Chain A
Amino acid sequence: DTGVSQDPRHKITKRGQNVTFRCDPISEHNRLYWYRQTLGQGPEFLTYFQNEAQLEKSRLLSDRFSAERPKGSFSTLEIQRTEQGDSAMYLCASSFGAGVYEQYFGPGTRLTVT
């Protein structure tokens, strides 16, 4: 059983550049979530999808952030005009159904903005 995968695992970028991360959920999972984790903190919810529909966005997700899930399969998270405050671990998770199913996390993408 293939787990959640994320690419790249690490990204170093200069302030002002755009970056895009990809998440591939577990194949039969229809829900996909993005979280952000900064040093010394627990993950914080950013957004989630049910199939291709983006159902909720956190106020943490500024206008510079956009997420998509075309065809309800993989998802991308793009950050435009990166700032040093965007440096964090970006975690993707997926779950099956809308019930009490647990979320399974990927290994994360570590973003460093210099």
Chain B
Amino acid sequence: AQSVTQPDIHITVSEGASLELRCNYSYGATPYLFWYVQSPGQGLQLLLKYFSGDTLVQGIKGFEAEFKRSQSSFNLRKPSVHWSDAAEYFCALRGSNYKLTFGKGTLLTVNP
């Protein structure tokens, strides 16, 4: 069975501060991992993905994520948050059967 855990339901940061959103996964092999962002009432936009190779991956909008096999983690980071980053963030895992398994999401609030 595969699963994704996002331990933080809601995070609040100040604009300009750094951000780290946590994601832990459970899967029997090397997973394909993704981060998506969802604005209210909208679909999901892909931020970045990890398939293999370099464990630090860069994405859009200045986001990056680091895959750590030993910790079964794929945390999302951004050095300086903008007010427009306020949204819900989902970590997802794709196993061998192509479907995505999502975490429950982390809601990000950005204070001015």
Q: Which residues of B contact A (CB under 8 A)?
A: 4, 32, 34, 36, 41-46, 49, 51, 90, 92, 97-105
Q: How far is the CB of B41 from chain A (nearest CB, A)?
A: 7
Known: A100-B32, A102-B49. A43 touches B98 (CB 8 A): no
Contact segment of A13-21, A61-69, A73-81, A105-113: A105-113
Measured CA separation A1–B34 after assembly (Å): 22
Are B51 and A45 in contact, with the CB atoms below 8 A? no
Q: How far is the CA of A103 from the CA of B34 in the complex (A)?
A: 10
Interface of B is mostly: strand
- A contact set with B: CB distance below 8 Å: 4, 6, 31, 33, 35, 40-45, 48, 56, 91, 93, 98, 100, 102-108, 110
In the complex, the answer to whether A42 meets B45 with C-beta atoms within 8 Å is no
- Shortest CB distance A63–B (Å): 20
Q: Closest approach, in angstroms, between the C-beta of A65 and any C-beta of chain B?
A: 16
Q: Separation in Å of the A91 CB from the closest CB of chain B? A: 6
Q: Which of A35, A42, A107, A108 contacts B104 (CB 8 A)?
A: A42
Task: Tell me whether B105 and A56 are in contact (CB under 8 A).
Answer: no
**A45 & B101 in contact (Cβ 8 Å cutoff):** yes
Q: List, in ascending order, chain A residues with CB within 8 A of B44's CB.
A: 43, 91, 93, 105
Shortest Cβ distance from A31 into B: residue: B98
A40 B101 Cβ-Cβ under 8 A: no
